[in-house]
Amino acid sequence: MDLGLKGKVVLVAAASKGLGRAMAEEFAREGAKVAMCSREQDAIRAAASEIAKATGAETIPIVADLSSAKGCETFVSSALEKLGRIDVLVVNAGGPPPGRFEELTEETWDKAYQLTLQSAVRLTRLALPELKKTKGNILYSTSTSVRQPTQYLNLILSNALRAAVHGMLKTLSKDLAKDGIRVNAIQPGRIKTDRIVQLDTDTAKRTGKSLEEVQKEWETSGVIPLGRYGDPKEFAAAAVFLASERASYITGVSLQVDGGMLQAMF
């Protein structure tokens, strides 16, 4: 299926590894030009080079710390300078640290706020003038925990702040429809990434279990009906579809990619 992404310019935030990298590579395989950022110079250059070599697509590595206003500005302005337009903005960021409410300081809350919510606000604001020209679209990568936060009692930072992102995107989806801009979100469940290993390791420490026991419990307890963790490529395929011309009548949607784990009807 031709997704209509060939030659489009896509910005993928936090793309040196994990879900960000998987999405960047999938867009590249569809023929898009991909600008991708990370705060780690060596990591983002290596990821961009490997994706370009594997797909033949043009990839632009940009060093930017999205937890700051300057970093967000650097990412968008550098991408525009090198690629000249924006057709798709993928807002993604590393998840805030795990912890129960009583364990988290005000400083920790502020850092999570800057990275999880403010990066979404800033990147959207910066890219919006260009997206209006191209009638492009925005995709926010978040988490299924915004619909069922009690699955993760030690992820209150993520649960609280990603919910705010969803409130913003739902409002924007209606407000920007008149400009031909679609706004959606994609919610990963248990996808095999370093982030999930971090969370499973935290659970292991809290429960006195091994990492292997924690992972096996997720896969065999029935919590994930498909009985396994997802592959980043599976998540990326769904993300790229939502951002493509084939999804031209879809806006304001939050799509979970979780093997059936989410139990909520809506």
Tell me if residue 152 is catalytic: yes
Residue 212 belongs to a domain: no
Give the CATH number, domain containing residue 137. 3.40.50.720
Q: Rounded CA gap, 215 and 203, in Å?
A: 10
Instruction: Report yes or no: 235 and 188 within 8 Å, Cβ to Cβ.
Output: yes
Residue 136 belongs to a domain: yes
The number of domains in the chain is: 1
Interval 152-164: pLDDT, tens: 778 899 999 999 9
Q: Rounded CA gap, 127 and 130, in Å?
A: 6
Q: What is the pTM of this model?
A: 0.94
Ranking 54-63, 238-247, 256-265 by mean pLDDT, the lowest is 256-265
For residue 223, give Cα distances in angstroms to 215, 249, 262.
Answer: 11, 32, 9
Residue 217 belongs to a domain: no
Residue 171 belongs to a domain: yes
Q: Rounded CA gap, 232 and 17, in Å?
A: 10
Return the number of other C-beta atoms located less than 10 Å from residue 81's C-beta: 11
Interval 57-108: pLDDT, tens: 999 999 999 999 999 999 999 999 999 999 999 999 988 888 999 999 999 9
| Confidence category of residue 173, pLDDT binned at 50, 70, 90 | very high
Query: Does 21 or 266 have the greater pLDDT score?
Result: 21
Judge whether residue 265 has pLDDT over 90.
no
Catalytic residue among 140, 152, 229, 249: 152
Q: What is the mean pLDDT of the chain?
A: 95
Residue 143 belongs to a domain: yes
Instruction: Report yes or no: 51 and 58 within 8 Å, Cβ to Cβ.
Output: no
Interval 187-207: pLDDT, tens: 999 999 988 888 889 889 889
Predicted confidence at residue 159, as pLDDT, reads 92
Residue 203 belongs to a domain: no
| Confidence category of residue 151, pLDDT binned at 50, 70, 90 | confident
Domain extent at residue 186: 9-191+231-257
Q: How many helices (H) and strands (E) does the chain have?
A: 9, 7
* Amino acid letter, residue 248: S
Judge whether residue 222 has pLDDT over 80.
yes
| Confidence category of residue 16, pLDDT binned at 50, 70, 90 | very high
Interval 104-147: pLDDT, tens: 999 999 999 999 999 999 999 999 999 999 999 999 999 998 88
| Confidence category of residue 177, pLDDT binned at 50, 70, 90 | very high
Residue 215 belongs to a domain: no
Tell me the mean pLDDT in the region 41-63.
98
